[in-house]
Amino acid sequence: MILGDFAKAIGQLTDPRFRRVLWLGLGLTVTLLFAVYAAVLWLVSLFAPETVSLPWIGEVAWVNDLMSGASLLLMMMLSVFLMVPVASAFTSMFLDDVAQAVEDRHYPALQPVEPIDWLDGLQDTLRFLGVIIIANLLAIILYAFMAMTVVLAPFTPLVFWSLNGYLLGREYFQLVAMRRMDRSSARALFQRHSSTIWLAGILMAMPLSVPLINLLVPILGAATFTHLFHRLENGQTAARKA
């Protein structure tokens, strides 16, 4: 079932609305990462000394450059873990476009929905962005610990997939659901099918480890969870009628 939802999402990747959201999400993500790095460089230049006096060596004048280089290396490492989750958060701002494209093609009989209020969408995006950045930054500490432990090192990808799978599944499903029902009903539907949604989220998180392909994850996730929502919601409606 979940694989069928995923296959339908892949089959619609050529949709112009999908491409638009992809470029918007990536553009905002790259802009944010450059802004963060610029802030780091500013802090380095503000607090790092121009020279350091070392015993038996004397004055060393390249400390500032060294710290700037270290900050660049750090940002490159962090971007590996954060770029796609952050892109996922930004894509949630435009999730309505992806969901509408899916419904136009696969569910044409549905009644039109009111567009999500821009301010509400921004608030949800900022909340999701904060949660996903903090969770992944904390997880980096766990990844580092696991990498140093021979027994635990092979399980590092499982932790990454499970964490981001839960975050992507919960947020994307609820955002899709809130297009068609109120927030409390969307949360209740998520809780009722949380294991299925988490599994679908893990399926979305697994390609995060594959360069280039991982850039498509936010779009595929939004489309997949749109299909998943309608399947679960239709099943719930049929159960009530029975």
How is the chain split into domains, by residue range? 2-241
Lowest-confidence pick of 49-58, 68-77, 207-216: 49-58
Please compute the mean of the pLDDT values over residues 55-68 and round it to a whole number: 50
Lowest-confidence pick of 14-18, 48-52, 207-211: 48-52
- 72: confidence class by pLDDT, cuts 50, 70, 90: low
Lowest-confidence pick of 37-41, 58-62, 78-82, 230-234: 58-62
160 and 209 in contact (C-beta within 8 Å)? yes
Tell me: pLDDT of 60 over 50: no
Lowest-confidence pick of 4-13, 103-112, 188-197, 231-240: 231-240
Per-residue tokens: 149: 């432990």
Higher local confidence (pLDDT), 1 or 14: 14
For position 226, what pLDDT does the model report?
93
Q: What is the pLDDT of residues 82-95, one digit of tens each?
A: 665 666 666 677 78
HEC-encoded secondary structure of the chain:
CHHHHHHHHHHCCCCHHHHHHHHHHHHHHHHHHHHHHHHHHHHHHHHCCCCEEECCCEEECCHHHHHHHHHHHHHHHHHHHHHHHHHHHHHHHHHHHHHHHHHHHHCCCCCCCCCCCHHHHHHHHHHHHHHHHHHHHHHHHHHHHHHCCCCCHHHHHHHHHHHHHHHHHHHHHHHHHCCCCCHHHHHHHHHHCHHHHHHHHHHHHHHHHCCCHHHHHHHHHHHHHHHHHHHHHHHHHHHHHC
For position 31, what pLDDT does the model report?
78
